[in-house]
Amino acid sequence: MKDIDQSLKGSVFQTQRWSLHDGEGIRTTIFLGGCPLRCSWCHNPESWNENPIHRVTVKEVMDLIERDAIFYRTSGGGITFSGGEPTRQGEFLKTLVKNAMFLGIDTAIETSGYFNWEEQKETFEMLDSVFVDIKHMDPAVHRKFTGIDNSLILENIMKISDLGKRPVIRIPLISDVNDDGDNIEKTGEFILNHLSIEGVEILPYHNLGEYKYRDLGIEIKHQFFTPRSEKIQEVKEILKKLGVNLVY
């Protein structure tokens, strides 16, 4: 541990102790600032700022994490790195993951999958669990709603799977954007043909983040809707019929 730079600084826009939804057991979620995507439905637009004023050292983050170490061990929990896109601060993230590994603390990441693989490979080798989104299988639709196409994301998901990490694939399900049968079938086929995964988690869109756009003075470009419960069920049935394992 003494070889790891504890003074390295990074931007953390939020921390959440006692989180139960971002992996196994009781967890501390660290939200790292910066994201190269601009998903029109993003409920964390405050994460887009690359250089928030609130920069902290690795040591400060680790001190917070270690406060709950006993609870991680007794519940099978640990730390989850979220964002934003946590790989955006590659060195900072890698150093935090390394520290946690030395302390025997479980680590998970929530990622968009959009990053340079060579720069992040070592970090992914150390992480215990990976949650990664597939937002849409059509590159043009993906670009329309997120600002980038999906090719690098799909490539990286295959590489994560090839590392043997068995990612959880998350589908943020948005009415009339990605909940049609054709897109869901293509998503399922991609998973079955190219990945070895823990399972798929369907996350229906909610508009709880809308007030943040108003507070930050960011224009709301599209009005999105939560899929009806019948639609959510239909999507799950399509995936199940294809043989895709659903989790949660």
Angle between helices 117-126 and 90-103 (to 10 degrees): 20
Q: Which residue's CB is nearer to ligand SF4, number 47 or number 80?
A: 47
Q: Which residue's CB is nearer to ligand SF4, number 35 or number 168?
A: 35
Does the bond joining 77 to the residue before it have cis omega, within 30 degrees of 0? Answer: no
* 85 lies in the site for ligand SF4, by CB under 6 A: yes
Q: Contact with ligand SF4 (CB under 6 A): which of 11, 28, 47, 178?
A: 47
* Smallest distance, ligand SF4 to C-beta of residue 216, A: 13
Element (H, E) at 239: helix 229-242
Report the distance separating Cα 79 and Cα 68, nearest Å: 10
Q: Contact with ligand SF4 (CB under 6 A): which of 15, 16, 44, 226?
A: 44
Report the distance separating Cα 123 and Cα 125, nearest Å: 5
Report the distance separating Cα 95 and Cα 86, nearest Å: 12
Q: Which residue's CB is nearer to ligand SF4, number 43 or number 236?
A: 43
* Smallest distance, ligand SF4 to C-beta of residue 151, A: 16
Question: Could you tell me how many residues of this chain bind ligand SF4 (CB under 6 A)?
Answer: 11
Element (H, E) at 132: strand 129-133
Q: Contact with ligand SF4 (CB under 6 A): which of 14, 15, 38, 212?
A: 38
* Smallest distance, ligand SF4 to C-beta of residue 139, A: 16
Q: Which residue's CB is nearer to ligand SF4, number 134 or number 239?
A: 134
Q: Which stretch binds ligand SF4 (CB under 6 A): 6-14, 50-58, 82-90, 122-130?
A: 82-90
Q: Contact with ligand SF4 (CB under 6 A): which of 26, 30, 35, 160?
A: 35
Q: Contact with ligand SF4 (CB under 6 A): which of 77, 83, 167, 227?
A: 83
Report the distance separating Cα 169 and Cα 184, nearest Å: 13
* 42 lies in the site for ligand SF4, by CB under 6 A: yes
Q: Which stretch binds ligand SF4 (CB under 6 A): 13-21, 52-60, 80-88, 117-125?
A: 80-88
Structure tokens at 197: 């995964």
Q: Which of 106-144 are b and which e, b meaning 16 or more Cβ less than 10 Å from the residue's Cβ?
A: bbbbbbbbbbeeeebeebbeebbbbbbbbbbbeeebbee
Cβ–Cβ under 8 Å, residues 192 and 243: yes
Cβ–Cβ under 8 Å, residues 6 and 62: yes
Q: Which stretch binds ligand SF4 (CB under 6 A): 31-39, 72-80, 99-107, 225-233?
A: 31-39
Identify residue 38 by its one-letter amino acid code. Answer: R
Cβ–Cβ under 8 Å, residues 184 and 172: no
* 34 lies in the site for ligand SF4, by CB under 6 A: no
Identify residue 101 by its one-letter amino acid code. Answer: M
Residue numbers of the site for ligand SF4 (CB under 6 A)?
35, 37-39, 42, 44, 47, 83-85, 112
